[in-house]
């Protein structure tokens, strides 16, 4: 089958189009003919080798972390799906490979795609949808009437998380550029802060939660907007000991992550708030819940641009520029 393969870590120079074997189907797998896959910053981090301590892949590997497509075969233990089902999925982190014509995915990581979406729209959802769901519901239990700051509201995670937080009944603030300020307001943000003009840490106060997608100085300043007992959940900051233990990483890596996150955890403790790192996990059950919310009209995926499969490297380069509004998708087949 045709696929986009990472041969060596670094830039797009290590990425090529090629032929690879169609993956074998395990007893509890579904084999999916992929119709669309989305491009995520996670793909860039994997390509650059930044996640080797967490994801020690043996190269070459097929890139791609979420998809939509049609089930063409099921393993003998599969009970939820049958050939012809239109599905979407975020494969387990050990079995990525969505930039290809076919993929085998454990049925626990798969859900029927939202009825109201195209394949391209559905493919844009799993990774950012699960990130938003796990940050706002699992890790923070965001409640109606609470206040949340979501950084980079025009990005893939931001556009989805704003809509999900509003669905949960929260008051939502977000940061974005001048050009996107009005647009993210239409997505549902109650307070839009133009980071080129204003300092969010001087404007916002007594927030229950911050969803940080940027890390660095933005993460550190985010502590200032939280009320005592508040939480900052980051997908861009340093991994913390809790994540390392949950991920089953070895003792040495756990200690390294303890050191990497020491400064931000200490700063959070001084302000009587908490810091935690989120690395999204696969979940077909959560995708089923998200499909219901999407089909009810509460959330609409935002797709910035669709590239043909043969232009996947160009799609990676486009995402690397950091200017996409919402998600970038590759159409396959």
Dihedral over Cα of 207, 227, 210, 245: its sign: negative
Give pLDDT tens digits for 100-121: 999 999 999 999 999 999 999 9
- For the segment 53-81, the average pLDDT, to the nearest whole number, is 96
333 — pLDDT class (breaks 50, 70, 90)? confident
| DSSP state letter for 22 | P
Question: For the chain, where are the alpha helices, taking DSSP H only?
Answer: 41-48, 119-123, 126-133, 156-167, 181-187, 200-203, 216-222, 241-246, 251-260, 262-270, 284-295, 312-320
- For the segment 38-52, the average pLDDT, to the nearest whole number, is 96
Beta strand spans in the chain (E)? 2-6, 15-19, 29-39, 61-62, 67-74, 86-89, 102-106, 110-112, 147-150, 171-176, 191-194, 207-212, 226-234, 274-277, 303-308, 327-331
CATH of the domain spanning 2-124+302-331: 3.90.180.10
Give pLDDT tens digits for 191-238: 999 999 999 999 999 999 999 999 999 999 999 999 999 999 999 999
Give pLDDT tens digits for 247-263: 888 888 889 999 999 99
Return mean pLDDT, the chain.
96
Q: Domain limits of the chain?
A: 2-124+302-331, 127-277
CATH of the domain spanning 127-277: 3.40.50.720
pTM, to two decimals: 0.96
């Amino acid at each position: 089958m045709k696929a986009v393969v990472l041969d060596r870590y670094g830039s797009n120079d290590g990425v090529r189009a090629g032929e690879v074997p169609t993956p074998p189907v395990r007893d509890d797998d579904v084999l999916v003919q992929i119709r669309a896959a989305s491009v995520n910053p996670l793909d860039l981090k994997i390509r650059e080798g930044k996640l080797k301590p967490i994801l020690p892949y043996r190269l070459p590997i097929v890139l791609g972390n979420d998809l939509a497509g049609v089930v063409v075969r099921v393993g003998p233990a599969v009970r939820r799906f049958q050939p012809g089902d239109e599905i979407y999925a975020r494969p387990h982190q050990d079995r990525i490979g969505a930039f290809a014509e076919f993929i085998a995915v454990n049925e626990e990581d798969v859900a029927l795609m939202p009825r109201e979406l195209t394949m391209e729209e559905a493919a844009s959802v799993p990774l950012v949808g699960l990130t938003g769901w796990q940050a706002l519901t699992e890790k923070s239990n965001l409640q109606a009437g609470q206040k949340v700051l979501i950084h980079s509201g025009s990005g893939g995670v931001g556009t989805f998380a704003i809509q999900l937080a509003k669905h949960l009944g929260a008051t939502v603030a977000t940061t974005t550029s001048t050009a996107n300020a009005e647009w993210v307001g239409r997505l549902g943000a109650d307070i839009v802060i133009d980071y080129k003009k204003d300092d969010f840490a001087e404007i916002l106060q007594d927030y229950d939660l911050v969803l940080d997608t940027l890390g660095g100085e933005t993460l550190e300043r985010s502590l200032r907007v939280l009320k005592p007992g508040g939480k900052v959940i980051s997908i861009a900051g340093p991994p913390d000991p809790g994540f390392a233990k949950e991920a089953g990483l070895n003792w040495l890596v756990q200690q390294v992550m303890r050191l990497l996150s020491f400064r931000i955890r200490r700063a959070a403790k001084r302000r009587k708030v908490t810091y935690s790192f989120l690395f999204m996990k696969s979940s077909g059950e959560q995708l089923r819940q998200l499909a219901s919310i999407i089909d009810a009209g509460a959330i609409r995926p935002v797709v910035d641009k669709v590239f043909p499969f043969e232009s996947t490297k160009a799609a990676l380069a486009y995402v690397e520029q950091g200017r996409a509004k919402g998600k970038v998708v590759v159409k396959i087949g």
